[in-house]
Amino acid sequence: MTINPYLCDVCGTCVSVCPVDAIVVEENRVVLDNEKCIRCRKCVIVCPVKAISEKN
Ligand code: SF4
Ligand code: SF4
């Protein structure tokens, strides 16, 4: 999974829906840990600006 930093406004919505805590807010950006990610796509669906995509 990839978060496009140019689209992401660090709203935190994806962080709260991830079932395995693979997404964290780090200073003023959001970081996704692909080692933890189970590819459920919940974050992709909730992101209001479509900043998350399935490519790595
Ligand atoms: S796809 Fe699912 S497991 Fe992976 S980061 Fe998004 S919400 Fe978390
Ligand atoms: S939901 Fe989208 S805009 Fe909000 S923090 Fe996550 S990736 Fe960024």
Q: Specify the pTM.
A: 0.94
Q: Which residue type is seen at 44?
A: V
Residues 10 and 3 sit within 8 Å (Cβ to Cβ): no
- Provide the pLDDT for residue 55: 83
- Give 17-42 pLDDT, tens digit per residue: 999 999 999 999 999 999 999 999 99
Q: What gap in Å lies between CA 55 and CA 25, rounded to an integer?
A: 20
Q: In which residue are the tokens 């692909």 written? A: 34
1 lines ligand 2 (CB under 6 A): no
Return the residue whose CA atom lies nearest to atom 2 of ligand 1: 40
Return the residue whose CA atom lies nearest to atom 6 of ligand 2: 14
Instruction: Report, at the CATH architecture level, how domain 2-53 is classified.
Output: 2-Layer Sandwich (3.30)
